Structure 1
Amino acid sequence: MTSLNSPTVAQLPVLAAQAYGDRRALRFKRDGAWHTLSYRQLGAAVEQIAAGLHRIGVRPGDRVGLLSETRHEWTLCDLAIARTGAVCVPVYPTSSPEECAWVLGHSGARTVIAENAAKAAVAAALPGVEAVVVIEAAEPYLALEELRRGSTPQELAAVEAATAAVEPDSLATVVYTSGTTGQPKGCMITHGNWRAAFTAIGALLKGLDADEEVFVHLPLAHVMSRSVQLVALEHGAGLAYFGGDMRNVVAELSEVRPTILPSVPRLFEKAYAVARDLPPETVAQAFGGRLRLAVTGAAPIAPEIQEFFASCGIPIHDTYGMTESTALVAANLPGAVRPGTVGRPLPGAQIRIAPDGEILARGAGIFAGYLDNPKATAQTVVDGWLHTGDLGRLDADGYLTVTGRKKDIIITATGKNVTPAHLENNLRRLPWISQAVLLGDRRPYPVLLLTFDAEAVLSWAAQRGLPPDLTELARHREVRAAVQRELDAANERYAPPARARRFAILDHEFTVDAGTLTPTLKIRRQAVIDRYAGVIDELYA
């Protein structure tokens, strides 16, 4: 496995262009056809964008907002921002206008690169934003293609000088946590932090080279997705970007035939629900037939799902990390997967468990702190140890199991502590349940709110001659009986105080727009409690 060992992200595109030349770097879909960029073309495009950014006033240390769905231009712009010595501030494309305003305003972004006119309008309305560039040309904004034209030797020299001045401790990006409570905090990540992430993820993606291709479909505002693609570029592998419609991801996997798939548990849960009775070779072909490694994180994945895909030749490597650790600190490495755990500490990282059960992490990837929030920084990093807020345990072999979030612990009216994650994960194994939230703080006993996976439950209902109406299905005796059977089986695994006594099924999913999910699709528990207070009260009537 070749590696550039680029000391900073600013140097990465030039070194990659020199080392890998005409090797395919990026593949993307446009108008139904796949197009490619070589490493040489990638390097040239990044230089043009960087020169254009310098032309419109971007200077080292400036904050540049990047507001777009996942697409190859996102990567070009991210690398170009680094080349100018500026600081990329990614914004989740699912963020509300208010959240966009907070991130761009708090970070001090004066220049914003937006995907289209709608996103550009949000940025342009902010008082501190002076320049807006759009990826998809739209008046009255400066188009990215226009920005790339006419680079002068002076501009290119200025970019080169800016890159040369970037040090490992220079700020590379400010990534805002999605925040299940309160306003998002800006995590300051340095070029040295990225370097540590490259080392850690390189151990997971061992063997990455020109024959490999990574399928990119997760939001690039997420530090894990972004770091995996940077590692791929460091090693000369290819990146294939999905076409923009999540419904087509599986179909595109069979077209692209990637070898590496970073994803989220929900993709594999939905695939498992459909494919568990199919022959292993059929499942492998549905994912392209070449997939040697799938990487997941952000939420637990059921061991039986991991075991099923492993039997199909698709090992799923569960991992652990967070924005504050610059991606991963632990992972199940190839040949050493232990289902139900998130693996062992990666190179350069240390993990220990505090007396109260909290997971603590230390290493070169630990972030430089929260932007303009020294109090929160001091509370989060103590004596070099990152206090993750997660609960967990280490086994005798050093494998980490995450058992829940400290702030999610339910204390019932009888004083019993209940960790919601276990039971929630059990209920989500039903193929047509998409979300499960265990509630019961200061209440006599825990209860559950469940939401449907609309497509899956309607298919299940049609097979049984049940009405194709989500509201009716949520109340239907046969549906509730199926959930009750699953709940009874799950409850048997836990002590009586941790068992859910009653449940309600909603006829709609939690969403980012409704405020019940974060941009990274984590549950905002307090928002759920507030929004569904009446439903919850009925469960205790």
Structure 2
Amino acid sequence: MAAAPRAGGLADTVFDYAEEDPHRIALGRKGADGAWHDVTAGTFRDEVLALAKGLIADGVRFGDRVALMSRTRYEWTLFDLALWTVGAQSVPVYPTSSAEQVLWMLHDAEVTAVMVEHEDHAMTVGSVIDRLPRLKRLWQLDAGALAELVAAGARIDDEVVHRHRRAVTPDSVATVIYTSGTTGRPKGCVITHAGFMFEADTMVGRWHPVFRSRPGDEAATLLFLPLAHVFGRMVEVAALRGRVKLGHQPELSARALMPDLVSFRPTFFLAVPYIFEKVFDAARRKAETEGRAGPFDKAVEVAVKYAEAMEERAFGTGPGPSAGLRMQHQFFDKVVYRKIREAMGGRVRHAMSGGSGMERRLGLFFAGAGIAVFEGYGLTETTAAATANPPERTRYGTVGRPIPGTTVHIARDGEVWVHGAHVFSRYLGDPRATDEVLRDGWLATGDLGSLDADGYLTITGRKKEILVTSGGKSVAPGGLEERVRAHPLVAQCIVVGDDRPYIAALVTVDQEAVEHWLAMQGRPVLSPAQLVRDPGLETEVRRAVVAANTAVSQAESIRTFRILAHRFTEEHGLLTPSLKLKRKAIETAYAAEIDALYH
């Protein structure tokens, strides 16, 4: 368990790192030439200090709240640490936020300055700036703001910055992170320097096989999660505090991500299940195109069996892989698994998954293929992970045990309650909402779950998402949706049926996977309108639904479904930036399609 910090704040990490090991490579920065350039701890410290001086010169004061609206990139982390250096509080804003969302967050947080990435963001802020009287400054990264600030700060003495930095205490507010707002208006979670330090140090200490460097093989991670999300932010802090080389990639899509994984060559990364699904599906399609679908599927079976046998040995319920299974595993490691690892840079040994549930079989496959994926669970209110699977005893299909220093309790109604030093302090300016979830230091998460005999947590649903049919049957939609999505042609699934006679579903398809599926049958590409009426596709989706239904009772099963022509997107307000479904928005947008399922 990490010790509670007694003094200082998060920015001290940068200055201590540079003092101890100035020539060590701390970050990788992608240049305009597309190549990665090393940044030493000493250089990063100098850049943070120079920017901090510029912020002071431009009027940022201790305790000010400053918004950061950008994709995941090097400058985000630079600004974050510079703000902490001068004792300011960063307020992340998702780069895809609408003008109304931006207005709400900047107004609610009483933001005095905002850093945006490019002109589109500047225009979004500009469209509501007349309603933000406290907002005094707008910096645009792609318009040279960084250089201007550094130049402005050249006349400021270093000691002025250090006086600000030394005034920061562990109890000082580090950041206000707004919840993703799947239901209702986003709330600002107030998180202290101590909370972030405890979370990051606990993860680095307990999961040392992940964060630790080996001789001649320095630990490195490529961060592609949004830095406006607490999960991505924890990676940023943990990498710097754990002396792990940190790179940034701005797009959360497999197509954009895979080339950077190959060039940056991380030893581990943190992702959402969607990324692991896409990596697996791409490998499966490639094998099928090359006429090797049979051997690939056999390799999958061997990987899953091997990982299951290793899991049983870890828990003392089995002897481990048999000699025959080990031989098969060695064979497929050379012809299949190694290629999957090479597609992710060739050095990846571990990964962490969060944000939503990962199918057990997928986790087992990656473990068997040589990449141990540790699934965890947390919220903005818990400063990222509250539970995670321990490296030596991973139980696939669960979100693991409470991290050291954390206690998890299941309330009578099945709600998961969490207690620990990383639990947030309050919702900004909303004592009523705070009192609803914080009770004597315990956080009522709103999630439903169960603990097994070994203390491993399984999340079964969300209280606000439970559907109650007109027959009185309560159904948690999440598990059903995950099982339907396990089919390679399915992109998304939303289960409906609240106050209806039975459960039904809306399904969207993965366009790339469908095009491959059609090509393998020698069929031409179909338009979205043709696809939704295609009998063959309907048969495939029905298989996915039938497979999902085997895990639930008849009353909880999906009776009918409809394939939609277009995916749910963040741009249309149907997904959160962390790719969670906005149920109410989807049900409103597709009210006619849902009604048709019941007539």
**Conservation of the 8 A alpha-carbon contact between 1:412 and 1:444:** yes
- Residue number in structure 1 paired with 2:116: 114
**Corresponding residue for 1:454?**
511
Code of the residue aligned with 2:436 in structure 1: it is Q
Q: Which residue of 2 aligns with 1:17?
A: 18
The 1:194–1:243 alpha-carbon spacing in structure 2 relative to 1, beyond 3 Å, is: closer
- 1:159 and 1:364, CA in 2 relative to 1: closer, same or farther beyond 3 A? same
The 2-side partners of 1:105 and 1:58 are apart by: 17
- What SS does the corresponding residue of 2:443 show, helix, strand or coil? strand
1:77 to 76, 79, 84: 79
Partner of 2:358: 301
| Aligned residue type for 2:12 | Q
Kept after mapping to 2: 8 A contact 1:263/1:294: yes
Runs of 4+ in 1 over 6 A off after TM superposition: 2-6
Q: 1:212 aligns with which of 205, 208, 219?
A: 219
| CA shift digits 1:92-115 (9 cap, x unpaired) | 112112211211111111111111
**2:326: which partner in 1?**
none
- Matched residue type, 1:185: K
| 1:440-481: CA deviation from partner (whole Å, max 9, x where unpaired) | 000000000111111111221222234422221121001001
CA shift digits 1:14-48 (9 cap, x unpaired): 11111221111111222222122111111011111
Matches within 5 A, 1:15-414: 15-31=16-32, 32-125=34-127, 126=129, 127-128=132-133, 129-137=135-143, 143-149=145-151, 151-152=153-154, 154-207=156-209, 208-209=211-212, 211-242=218-249, 244=251, 246=253, 247-276=255-284, 277=296, 279-414=336-471
Structure 1 distance, partners of 2:124, 2:478, is: 36
RMSD, matched Cα: 1.8
Q: Is the 8 A contact 1:257 1:289 kept in 2?
A: yes
Q: 2 CA distance for matches of 1:113 and 1:486?
A: 45
Instruction: Mark the CA change 1:83 to 1:111 in structure 2 (over 3 Å): closer, same or farther.
Output: same
Q: Write out per-residue CA displacement over residues 154-194 of structure 1, whole angstroms, 9 at most, x where no aligned residue.
A: 44322211111111111110000011121100000001111
User: In 2, are the aligned partners of 1:124 and 1:132 still within 8 Å (CA)?
Assistant: no
SS at match of 1:95: coil
- Percent same amino acid among aligned pairs? 41
TM-score by length of 1: 0.96
Residue number among 455, 470, 488 corresponding to 2:528 in the alignment: 470
CA distance in 2, matches of 1:206, 1:172: 25
The secondary structure found in structure 2 opposite 1:480 is helix
How many pairs are equivalent? 536
- Residue range with higher mean Cα deviation, 76-85 or 451-460: 451-460
Gaps of 5+ in 2: 285-295, 300-335
Of residues 479, 488, 492, the one that matches 1:422 is 479
What SS class does the counterpart of residue 236 from structure 1 fall into? coil
3-state SS of 2:15 partner: helix
Letter in 1 for 2:192: T
What is the rounded CA distance, in whole Å, between the counterparts of 2:481 and 2:446 in structure 1? 19
1:245 deviates by 7.4
Give the structure with the larger helix fraction: 2
1:360–1:385 CA contact under 8 A, matched in 2: yes
Instruction: For 1:473, give the aligned amino acid.
Output: L
Report if the CA contact (8 A) 1:101-1:122 is conserved. no
Moved more, 501-510 or 236-245: 236-245
Structure 1 residue runs of 5 or longer lacking an equivalent are none
Residue type at the aligned position of 1:27? G
Query: What is the letter of the counterpart of residue 573 of structure 2?
Result: G
Select the residue among 490, 494, 501 that pairs with 1:437: 494
**1:490 maps to what in 2?**
548
Distance across 2 between alignment mates of 1:430 and 1:473: 16
Which of 479, 491, 494 does residue 537 from structure 2 map onto?
A: 479
Taking the aligned partners of 1:507 and 1:160, their CA distance within structure 2 comes to: 57
Tell me: CA distance 1:52–1:4, structure 2 relative to 1, closer, same or farther (3 Å). Answer: farther
* 8 Å contact from structure 2 (residues 224, 252) kept in 1: no
1:237-287 CA distance string (max 9 Å, x none) = 101222657322112212211111111100111111232527111111111
SS at match of 2:83: helix
Counterpart CA distance in 2 for 1:380 and 1:190 is 18
| 1:224 Cα offset (Å) | 1.2
